[in-house]
Chains A and B, each alone.
Chain A
Amino acid sequence: MTKQEFTITVYTENHIGLLVRIATMFSRRKINIESLNTSPSEAEGIHRFTIVIHETEEVVRKLARQIEKQVEVLKAYYNNNEEIVWQELALYKVPTDEIAEKVKVERLLREYGARAVVIRKDYTIFETSGHREETDKLVEVLAPYGLIEFVRSARVAIIKQSKGFHEKLKEFEQTEPGEELVENEYLDKQDEVFSM
């Protein structure tokens, strides 16, 4: 199996120490995390980790199960890039003089979908969001004009097929889940199913 980019989405309780517990799942297996984001989710009180790694599907599937096994994790999904919609946010700080004199700012804004967040005499900060190739391209374009600082956020992703977590959370809250809703044993069919 070939390696490819996978996005792991983990729904969790908001618990101190959980970040370490999840991070060690990767470091223990010497797997590099390309990006990691934590944020609230659509369900109140439930957090959502978005983790990007470059691995084979087999490794990712086993990892997702190990993550899901953690007591404070409700559910871990993994998806390839076709199955998700994702964005990363990037900020670029450049000298205002250089930009104003040497680049057609307007062209920059239009071509790369950039937006000026701050304009000062000494510097200007642009923002773009998109896939990595897109945000990387603007770095290339700005580099000759004295790019002072660049930073890119972790990936945030939405699973195309997902119906969100509200209904699943109700199931988790019950002591004895109803049989029709416990889709657990389809261990390899992660999407339609519920493997809590």
Chain B
Amino acid sequence: MSTTAQITTTSPEPQSISSAKGSELTGSQAVLEACIVEGVSTIFGYPGGAIMPIYDALYDYNDKLKHILVRHEQGGIHAAQGYARASGKVGVVFATSGPGATNLVTGLADAMIDSTPLVAITGQVFAHLLGTDAFQETDVVNITTPVTKWNYQVTDATEIPAVLAKAFYIARSGRPGPVLIDITKNAQIQKFRYEGYTPCNHVRSYRPKPIVRKEYIEEAARLINAAEKPFVVFGQGVILGKAEKEFKAFIEKAGIPAAWTILGLSALPTDHPLNVGMLGMHGNYGPNVMTNECDVLIAVGMRFDDRVTGRLDKYAKQAKVIHLDIDPSEIDKNVKATVGVWGDCKETLPMLTKLVEAKVYPQWVEKFRACDAEENKEVIFEELHPSTEKMTMGEVMRNLNELTGGNAVIVTDVGQHQMVACRYAKFNQSKSNITSGGLGTMGFGLPAAIGAKFGAPDRTVIAIIGDGGMQMTIQELGTIMQTGVDVKILILNNEFLGMVRQWQQLFNDRRYSFVDIASPDFVMVAKGYGIAGNKITDRADLKAALQAMLDHKGSYLLEVMVGKENNVFPMVPQGCSVSEVRLK
């Protein structure tokens, strides 16, 4: 037998792989079988030395698994996040060892803090080389420990079916999160007798959700029934728990006004009469002020992030707090709960709905509306119908809403445009708002939008991105080019790193330090990637340009030049109480 590799000039036909019980599979094939059984339709990834056996196996699985070749592993994992958030399924990303794996870290951290179910599979050097500083070896398991819900290194192929079953189960159950499985090259190559794939539904040391105790529901209902000014604040838990209906039924019966965190957005339709808007630093005036006026605060699937609460020692001190969460470590973490209801809100909300009295609080809801009127007068009207020469981000959103009717998936990057988009975008259905909330990852938007389109192929996906964030993962235009995925890219260009500039203006005496960012000709860059585009600077062109973007068959990039020094208001300055929210 010759040891020199034959250089083949033509590629062979893919083979048909039998995955019957008792057949012989390689570790790599077992990985792909797991993805198929788990219902993964799309994998995002990038090949490299240590993951080559898995990519070799993919060659034969091309008809069953769609693999999207990204341009950078960070793009791959953000795409998997977008896929997961739009579809409600587990996102999967492949990367090689060393730099491939370390490029996943930002996405893992983002998925960890935003509770996104992911399974990341990384190649690793041969087991006998572990710890020798081999080529492209990094200690991926230890690097990713703080940013994964669970991680594990496989060195033997026979472990693969059970480990992957556990990985998918842990990623999606309880409070979801990212799981990383690092597989040494020898385990990918190793052949073993395949005994089939059994999905996991129990891990001894892990209890994703408890049996709900009625006493706590009863106590919560008692507080709610006695309340005069109850207020609901909800987060992504409602979406992750697939409990949108249950949530709506609860607030409608109890008649309680409800405000959302940035990740809870779209769980309740924008125009629902009890939807009183957005919480937090750039949230609406009413929800922030009323947080410190309500008598019972009911938090559903949210974690009292500092951007939501502002100064904690002045947060809702007058209120009794009911906190419904699936993660017991969140209860009492930031805000002390009068009643902590540990459980899946899909189960706890209907139990609570049953016990609460059907009520309405017209005077109380009116107070929110009065705040709305104030905010409208001071901020919103001018933002949506500006009298300035330059366009505002808000008016772009208003025009977009009119054209989409609130039916599009809106993916945002991070910064001013994100706050404006979340404040003003209209949503009719859940899982429509995809953004990097907890980690605030610039560069998230474009790749996440690509993933979102694969996760929700029948929906219009619009990526709204700033000029700074666009340049962080602009390489993913290549992924759009190659796959032909239909993503509408709307760049709101203010020629600044706007949010940092806003802070420098307000808090650093206008000392604009390195926020003046130059941009390439985005439309020409898109053209280079074969993507159609347009740039507008005049208000007169806005609506038609947005319409052209939406009507275009395939991807499209629209760059809108907006006012350079516009600020996002209202704002709860850092270190201030939510009731100190500033309108200007």
Contacts and interface: CB of A to CB of B under 8 A. Distances in A.
Interface of A: 12-13, 16-17, 20-21, 24, 28, 61-62, 65-66, 68-69, 71-74, 172-173, 175, 177, 179, 182, 184-185, 187-188, 195-196
B205 A12 contact: yes
10 contacts: A16-B153, A71-B149, A72-B150, A72-B206, A172-B205, A177-B207, A179-B211, A184-B210, A184-B213, A187-B331
Interface in B111-150: 141-142, 145-146, 149-150
Interface of B: 141-142, 145-146, 149-153, 170, 201-207, 210-213, 215-216, 327-329, 331-333, 340-342
A69 B152 CA distance: 17
Contact of B329 (A16, A66, A177): A66
B342 A187 contact: yes
Given A17-B142, A71-B203, A195-B328, 7 more contacts: A17-B152, A20-B142, A20-B145, A24-B145, A62-B329, A182-B211, A196-B210
Contact of B340 (A13, A20, A68, A187): A187
B207 A185 contact: no
Q: State the 10 A-B residue pairs at the shortest beta-carbon distance, nearest first.
A: A65-B329, A185-B213, A184-B210, A71-B150, A175-B202, A196-B207, A74-B205, A71-B206, A69-B329, A182-B211
> Binding site of B, secondary structure by majority: helix, strand, loop or mixed?
mixed
A24 B146 contact: yes
A69 B327 contact: yes
A196 B510 CA distance: 52
A68 B170 contact: no
Nearest to B333: A62
Given A13-B204, A20-B142, A184 B211 contact: yes
B205 A185 contact: no
Contacts of B206: 71-72
Contact of B332 (A13, A184, A185, A187): A187
B219 to A, nearest CB: 11
A62 B333 CA distance: 7
Nearest to A64: B329
Contact of A173 (B204, B210, B216): B204
B307 to A, nearest CB: 20
Nearest to A184: B210
Contacts of A12: 205
Contacts of B331: 187
Contacts of A62: 329, 332-333
Contacts of A17: 141-142, 145, 151-153
Contact of B211 (A16, A177, A195): A177
Contacts of B329: 62, 65-66, 68-69
Contacts of A179: 211
Contacts of A73: 205
B208 to A, nearest CB: 10
A74 B203 CA distance: 10
A186 B203 CA distance: 23
B217 to A, nearest CB: 10
A21 B144 CA distance: 10
A71 B145 contact: no
A166 to B, nearest CB: 14
Contacts of A184: 207, 210-211, 213, 328, 342
Nearest to A172: B204
Contacts of A74: 204-205
B145 A21 contact: yes
A175 B211 CA distance: 12
B152 to A, nearest CB: 8
B205 A72 contact: yes
A167 to B, nearest CB: 14
Interface-central residue, A12, A16, A17, by most chain B CB under 10 Å? A17
A62 to B, nearest CB: 6
B345 to A, nearest CB: 15
A195 B150 CA distance: 20
A21 to B, nearest CB: 5
A72 B204 CA distance: 8
B310 to A, nearest CB: 20
Contacts of B153: 16-17
Contacts of B145: 17, 20-21, 24
A195 to B, nearest CB: 7
Given A28-B146, A71-B170, A184-B342, A65 B204 contact: no
B361 to A, nearest CB: 29
Contacts of A61: 332
A184 B152 CA distance: 28
A98 to B, nearest CB: 44
